[in-house]
Amino acid sequence: MPKIQVLDHPLIQHKLTYIRDINTGTKEFRELVDEVATLMAYEITRDLPLTEKEIETPIGKGTSDVLAGKKLGIIPILRAGLGMVEGILNLIPAAKVGHVGLYRDPETFEPVEYYVKLPKDVSERDLILVDPMLATGGSAIEAVNSLKKRGAKSIRFMCLIAAPEGVKAMTDAHPDVDIYIAALDEKLDENGYIVPGLGDAGDRLFGTK
């Protein structure tokens, strides 16, 4: 069973409230998404392995822990996922960044891959796939398909807001992918928007509406 974790830290919830607010403008929206992505990255990297290192302090010699150097990759789903990348890199600056671009076929409404560029050693990396919204789950499921097709073995998915419908679709399709969410909302509306959600994440991030 995949882990589904709602990261209900007070700082995350507080910032998310302002992200949702219709009166929050593009600049502040972008900054808040960046900050929440950093806070979420802190929570989801709790299981990173450590190794002991010999150190010398001004007082004497000893040992202390450092990261064991597990290779990480951040994979935003274009375009809205881009808004979460810098926030994660603030904490794990050595991570490589790949990109998955999907568009919705106007006839079938299915997501179709149009751009994929990944680190060469993708099969050796722990990947954090990011998209602010997990709505129907269509894009996230297809993005994981794209990653697995290219050899990815370890993927976790991180989003700001999820609908129950998306969580179910994603866990049915990819039970090996853990999901980290800042808030689990009520439902999808008839247009596929999350209620109450935050509107169109891409448009709000990039000011395109």
| Cα–Cα distances in angstroms (integers) from residue 82 to residues 55, 77, 172, in the given order | 38, 7, 26
Fill in the per-residue mask, 67 to 106: x = in contact with ligand URA (CB under 6 A), - = not in contact: -------------x--------------------------
Ranges within 153-192 binding ligand URA (CB under 6 A): 192
Task: Give the C-alpha separation, 34 to 29, whole Å.
Answer: 9
With CB under 6 A as the contact rule, the residue among 133, 141, 143, 181 that binds ligand URA is 133
206 binds ligand URA per the rule CB under 6 A: no
Pairing of strands 187-188, 154-162: unpaired
197 binds ligand URA per the rule CB under 6 A: yes
Interaxial angle between packed helices 164-173 and 138-149, expressed in degrees from 0 to 180 and rounded to the nearest 10? 20
203 labelled catalytic: yes
201 binds ligand URA per the rule CB under 6 A: yes
108 labelled catalytic: yes
Name the catalytic one among 21, 121, 203, 208.
203
Contacts (Cβ under 8 Å, ≥6 apart) of 199: 22, 193
Q: Are 6 and 179 in contact (CB under 8 A)?
A: no
- Residues forming the active site: 104, 108, 200, 203
Residues at the site binding ligand URA, with contacts judged by CB under 6 A: 80, 133, 135, 192-194, 197, 200-202
Show binding-site residues: 79, 104, 131-139, 194, 199-201
